[in-house]
Chains A and B, each alone.
Chain A
Amino acid sequence: MKTKIFLVMLVVGAFCAVQPAQAHHAFAAEYDLTKPVTLNGIVTRMEWANPHGWIYLDTKEPNGAVKHWMIETAAPSQLSRHGLKKADFTDGMTAVVKGYQGKTDPGLANGRTLVLKDGRNFYIGSVGGPNDGAEPQ
C-alpha cells in the first residue's frame, strides 16, 4: 500500500514539475522585483500557448553545471504584436532573456525582453508587469 501511495505521489510530483503554473496571480505575488536576472543560454523549448508562453532556457552556472529555467512570457498574440514568431525558435539557438526571478522557485522567471543571436530584441513581458522601462513606448 505504502509503495502504491509513493508511486502515485511520484507520478503526481513529476507531472507538477513539468507543468507551467496556470493559476492567475498578481505579478508581484509570483516574481521578485528585487531579483532581476539576465539569462544567457540555449533555448531548448518554447510553448506558444495561452494564457502565457513559456521559454525553456539552459544556462551554465559558474561551476559548469547546467541550470534549467522556465520563463513566463506574454500571451502569443502579444508576442506576435511585438514581432516575435514561432519560427524564430530554432534548434540550438542562443538567447538572452532579461526578467525577474520567481519568489518560490529559483528556476522560474518572468521574461521582460528577449534578445536573439542576430541582435533582434523583443518585448515579451506579461500584462501587469512592472513599469521598468522594458515595455516599448
Chain B
Amino acid sequence: MDYFRHHAAAAAVLLAAASLLAGCSKPAPEQPPPAAPPYHPVASIREVMNSVIDPNVDVVWNAVKTVIDHGKPIEHAPANDEEWAAVRHGAMTVSEGANLLMMPGRAVAPPGAGSLAPGIELAPDQVRALIDKSPSGWNQFARALQDSLQPAIAAIDKKDAQALFEAGDKIDEVCESCHQVFWYPAPGTSAQASAQAR
C-alpha cells in the first residue's frame, strides 16, 4: 500500500513540474485562418457542362465516324495536323473542364433556374443535395471523366483514328454513369452506392 502511495506522490510532483514548465514556455503560435482560395467560380455546373464540356466532347466524338449514305460508307477522321490539333484541343479542354466540376463553391445552375425537364431531371437544389451528400462520389465521377480522356489524347497523339473512336465510347459511358446518379437518377439509386460500385 505504501508502495502505491509513494509512487502516486512522485507522479503528482512530476505532473506539477511539467505543468510549471509548460506555463513558462512560449505559447504555440496561433495558426492563421485558412486562406480563401484565389479562384472564383463564375459559371454554374450547368453552364460549365453546356459551355465547356459538351461542345468540346462533341469535337472528340465527331472526329471519327462512318456515315453510310445509301449503302456507301464514308469514313470521317482528322485528315491533317491542323484537324488533329483541333481534336486534341477539345480533349484537353474536357480533361481540364473536369477540374472545374470538382471546384468547391460552384453553383449547380444559375440563380432561379429550375429543372430542364421537371419530374424527369432533378432540380438544381436536388442535384446540390446529392453532391453534398457524396462529394467524394461526385469527384470520383469527375476524375473518371478526366481519366476517360487519356486514351483519347493518346490516340490523338498517335493519330490513331480507330483508337480515338473506341475511346469515345468509354467517355460516353462515364458521362451517362454520372448523369444517372446526379442528374436523372433511377429510383433507388444513391450517389454514394453508385460511386462505390465503380
Contact = CB atoms under 8 A, between A and B. Distances in A.
Given A26-B183, A28-B117, A45 B69 contact: yes
Q: How large is the interface on A (under 10, 10 to 19, 20 to 34, 35 or more residues)?
A: 20 to 34
A77 B165 CA distance: 10
A115 interface: no
A24 B61 contact: no
Interface string A16-52: 0000001111101100000000000000111111110
B108 to A, nearest CB: 16
B65 A128 contact: no
Interface residues of B, number: 31
B169 interface: yes
Nearest to B73: A86
* Ranked 6 nearest A-B pairs via Cβ: A91-B71, A29-B117, A26-B184, A49-B65, A50-B168, A51-B172
Interface of B: 50, 54, 58, 61-62, 65-73, 116-117, 120-121, 165-166, 168-169, 171-173, 175-176, 179-180, 183-184
A134 interface: no
A92 B117 CA distance: 38
B90 to A, nearest CB: 13
B175 A50 contact: no
A29 B184 contact: yes
A42 B72 CA distance: 15
Given A26-B121, A91-B71, A128-B176, A50 B116 contact: no
B88 to A, nearest CB: 17
Contact of B117 (A25, A45, A49, A89): A25
Contacts of B179: 24, 26, 128
A46 B117 CA distance: 29
Interface of A: 22-26, 28-29, 44-51, 75-77, 86, 89-93, 127-128
Contacts of A48: 65-68
Contacts of A45: 67-70
Contacts of B172: 50-51, 75
A93 to B, nearest CB: 7
B169 A76 contact: yes
22 contacts: A23-B50, A26-B184, A28-B117, A28-B120, A28-B184, A29-B116, A29-B121, A46-B67, A46-B68, A48-B66, A48-B68, A49-B66, A49-B67, A51-B61, A51-B168, A51-B169, A51-B171, A75-B169, A77-B169, A91-B71, A93-B71, A128-B180
A27 to B, nearest CB: 8
Given A45-B70, A49-B65, A89-B68, A26 B117 contact: yes
A87 to B, nearest CB: 8
B121 A25 contact: yes
A29 B67 CA distance: 27
A86 B68 contact: yes
Nearest to B60: A50
Q: Identify the interface centre among B69, B71, B168: most chain A CB within 10 Å of its CB.
A: B71
A50 B58 CA distance: 9
A23 B121 CA distance: 14
